[in-house]
Amino acid sequence: MDLSAYLDRIDYPGESAASRDTLRALHLAHVLAIPFENLDGYRGVPVSLEPADVFAKIVTARRGGYCFELNGLFSLLLEAMGFEVARLIARVWYGAKPPYPRSHQVLLVKVGGEPWLVDVGFGGNGLLEPIPLAVGHEARQLEERFRLLSGESGEYLLQAWIHGEWDSLYSFSTQPCQPVDYQYANYFHSHSPDSLFMQRRVCTIPTREGRTTLVDQSLSIRRNGKNEKTVVGSDAVYARVLREHFGIVLP
């Protein structure tokens, strides 16, 4: 962990004390700087969860990643800065049909004994800042709204305000996981033809005005509630869009 390089990658010059304000600022800086993307698995490049490999990809090569990479690396950053971190696994509801498998990594971070849900790796409509682990809590984060409810079997359920209604993103328990617990889901998402991540290329990143998303050849830019869509017609234009909107330059 090269702490200075990581903080430079997310353009974070702020406080280093393990406080709530630091956690919020780190979380927001991270999601605004590092895109969610699945380009490696889709291209047949193995997705390694080894910390050194993830650091080299996201920090050194200035790429993005998906939840196991993004939250996995972010958890190491938080621990290096003195936060107490538990790694959890969630059942994704958004865009899925029941039964919902445990296939998404999230984090539980305690600050002064107070638990917070932390997630820099959900992708579309994901958290921009941490939220308190408190049933009934609602939060407005830039252009997004979230709330935390009681889910099934004693789990928590995170929802987002999407297209004028509350939509469920994922549910989770607070049972801690080990890094090996993510290996199976990571292999599925980066190899199986049944995984959505193997069926289409996805890049998405929030902005202070909305969100920019590239799914295969379709580019969507949402600003202040208005959405503009264009078709990316050629490989050259696709590469330019990756570079200009997501900071990604593929080999």
| CA 125 to each of CA 33, 116, 170, 225: distance values in angstroms, whole numbers, following the listed order | 16, 18, 11, 13
Nearest to 144 by CA among 230, 62, 27: 27
- Please state the pTM of the whole predicted model: 0.94
pLDDT at 103: 92
Total domains present in the chain:
1
Cis peptide before 46 (omega within 30 of 0): no
Query: What span, in angstroms and rounded, lies between the C-alpha atoms of 155 and 133?
Result: 11
Interval 9-21 mean pLDDT: 92
- What does the DSSP 8-state code read for residue 17? S
- Quote the pLDDT of residue 88: 97
Q: Output the domain CATH number for residue 66.
A: 3.30.2140.20
The residues that are catalytic are 67, 104, 119
**Quick check: is 100 in a domain?**
yes
pLDDT confidence bin for 217, thresholds 50/70/90: very high
Residue 251 lies in a domain: no
Query: How far apart (Å, rounded) are the C-alpha atoms in residues 127 and 144?
Result: 8
For residue 224, what pLDDT band results from cuts at 50, 70 and 90? confident
- The upper half-sphere exposure of residue 74, i.e. CA atoms within 13 Å in the direction of its Cβ, equals 33
Q: Is the pLDDT of residue 145 over 90?
A: yes
Residues 71/181, Cβ–Cβ less than 8 Å? no
Burial class (CB in 10 A: 0-12, 13-18, 19+), 35: buried
Output the average pLDDT for the chain: 93
Kindly list the distances between the CA atom of residue 169 and the CA atoms of 85, 96, 102, in Å, as whole numbers in the listed order: 22, 10, 13
Per cent of the chain over pLDDT 70 is 100
Q: Which domain holds residue 123?
A: 3-246
pLDDT digits (tens, 9 = 90+) for 150-179: 987 889 999 999 989 999 999 999 999 988
CA distance 49 to 72: 8
Give the chain's radius of gyration (CA, Å): 17
Reported as a single tens digit per residue, the pLDDT across 64-115 is 999 999 999 999 999 999 999 999 999 999 988 888 889 999 999 999 999 9
Is residue 137 within 8 Å of 151, Cβ to Cβ?
no
Task: Return the residue matching tokens 């990658």.
Answer: 9
Find, among 169, 40, 2, the residue nearest to 96 by Cα: 169
For 173-215, what is each residue's pLDDT tens digit?
999 998 888 999 999 999 999 888 888 999 999 999 999 999 9
pLDDT band at 124 (very low <50, low <70, confident <90, very high): confident
Dist. CA 56–CA 70, nearest whole Å: 12
Amino acid (one-letter) located at 88: L
- For 156-181, b/e burial (b = at least 16 CB within 10 A) is bbbbbbeeeeeebbbbbbeeeeeeee
Name the percent of the chain lying above pLDDT 90.
79
